[in-house]
Amino acid sequence: MSSLAFFDNLRPGERRFLVIVLTVVFIVLNAVLVWPRLDDWKTVQQEIEQLRRQRAEYLEEINRTARYERQIRELEGQGSAVLPEARALDLLRTVQEKARLSGVVITQTRTATSASATSRTNAFFDEQALTVGITTGPKELIEFLYSIGTGESMIRVRDMDLRPTRQRYQLDGNLTFIASYQKAKPNPPPSAAGGASRVSP
């Protein structure tokens, strides 16, 4: 018996019930299997576009490799403006000059110990430390700290220990400065002239 003949043999009420059941099943199947996937294509397109943008950014950085290598060679070839043995004196003179111009009184100075005076920060810079005792007013201290970072040496304050004086209108304390100096380019090893001498038999 064909489906059409089966449908013809049904009563009108049974036909309506069967149509309703089939319609509900169709809607449920679409709701479960089809409708949740309608946005998948849009999501895939967005992911593809994002991957294309990332690929373009990566290629752009790869194309900059030659420029980065050239900048590294330039930094390596510049050397240091201050000799390693003169860095402590250079830092001291810089701090003293800035303090004098700002009205800050330096009461004592102390360079770092040999173990911590210089430490490697990266492939291009060394650090030099200096601790000074000061007596100053708040305004002069702010001007001093603001001006200390100027110049060829990159100087920053690592430690600061301040306390008011007995008169309460000035400050006493210690400041530890760290200056970064460019590393000197290492000298290439001397080449052997003429190679090793041969021993005649």
Instruction: Report the number of distinct structural domains present in the chain.
Output: 2
**Grouped pLDDT means (10 residues each) for the chain, 201 residues:** 62 78 85 74 85 90 85 62 73 89 90 50 74 91 85 78 84 89 63 48 46
Domain that holds residue 18: 3-36
The overall pTM is greater than 0.75? no
Domain assignment of residue 198, yes or no: no
Domain assignment of residue 187, yes or no: no
Are 32 and 93 in the same domain? Answer: no
User: What CATH number does the domain containing 163 carry?
Assistant: 3.30.70.60
pLDDT at 174: 93
pLDDT at 115: 40
Domain assignment of residue 30, yes or no: yes
DSSP 34-67: IGGGTTHHHHHHHHHHHHHHHHHHHHHHHHTHHH
pLDDT at 17: 80
pLDDT at 19: 82
pLDDT at 15: 74
pLDDT at 131: 92
Taking only Cα atoms into account, the Rg of the chain, rounded to an integer number of angstroms, comes to: 39
Domain assignment of residue 115, yes or no: yes
- Using CA of residue 66, residue 68, residue 73, residue 78, what is the dihedral sign? positive
Domain assignment of residue 47, yes or no: no
Domain assignment of residue 178, yes or no: yes
Here the tokens at position 152 are 């060829």
